[in-house]
Structure 1
Amino acid sequence: MTETTEYHVASFIAQVDVSKEDAVRKSIEATPGAEIHASNDTGKIVFTIEADNQRIIGNYADQIKDQSGIFTLAPVYHQYLEE
């Protein structure tokens, strides 16, 4: 039996309380596989999470969205590849 390697990347847009943006950014940056790609002065942060399976991405997204300072967290795109 050949084991396939999965690669997942998902992108998100978070709307955050601007007074807590630094803490939210630090939390996202501390998440394994996460990278912030854009943000603006109204509290929007665009980021991706890369992982070996979608369950890991879902768990990380849940941890991020449940923290203080996040108003909304919307998934934008999810790509899955097998190698």
Structure 2
Amino acid sequence: MPAELHVASLLVHVRPDRLVPVRAAIAGTPGAEIHAEQDGKLVVVVEGPHEGWIADRMTAMHLMDGVLSAVLVFHHAEAVDEAAPPTH
């Protein structure tokens, strides 16, 4: 099976009093990056090798103290050439 790259965006809704620690926890999550924030809602992009990896990160965020919800907004997968150098 060829290697794949999965990219997903999540909308994470956070209680205002827990925003700082949740933001820090997400920033420390491998493969996750916060791309936008407004009114206690974070747009988080997650990249990983398979959809189970994405689902695990989404579940971990959902279970963080202060997170009201973490929902999948977008998911894309594509085959990658393991011999090619990374683009980022």
Query: What TM-score do you get using the length of structure 2 for normalisation?
Result: 0.86
Using the TM superposition, give the Cα deviation of residue 13 of structure 1 relative to its aligned residue in structure 2, in angstroms. Answer: 0.6
Native 8 Å contact 2:58 2:71 kept in 1: no
Task: Indicate the SS of the match to 1:4.
Answer: coil
- Structure 2 runs not aligned, ≥5 long: 81-88
Task: Indicate the SS of the match to 2:65.
Answer: coil
Partner of 1:80: 77
Native 8 Å contact 2:12 2:69 kept in 1: yes
Q: Deviations over 1:9-28 (max 9, x none)?
A: 01001110111001111111
Q: Quick one: percent identity of the two aligned structures? A: 31
Partner of 1:6: 4
Number of aligned pairs? 80
Partner of 2:37: 39
Q: CA–CA distance in 1 between the matches of 2:71 and 2:10?
A: 6
Using the TM superposition, give the Cα deviation of residue 73 of structure 1 relative to its aligned residue in structure 2, in angstroms. Answer: 1.1
RMSD: 0.9
Partner of 1:20: 18
Partner of 1:70: 67
- Structure 1 runs not aligned, ≥5 long: none
Q: CA–CA distance in 2 between the matches of 1:58 and 1:74?
A: 10
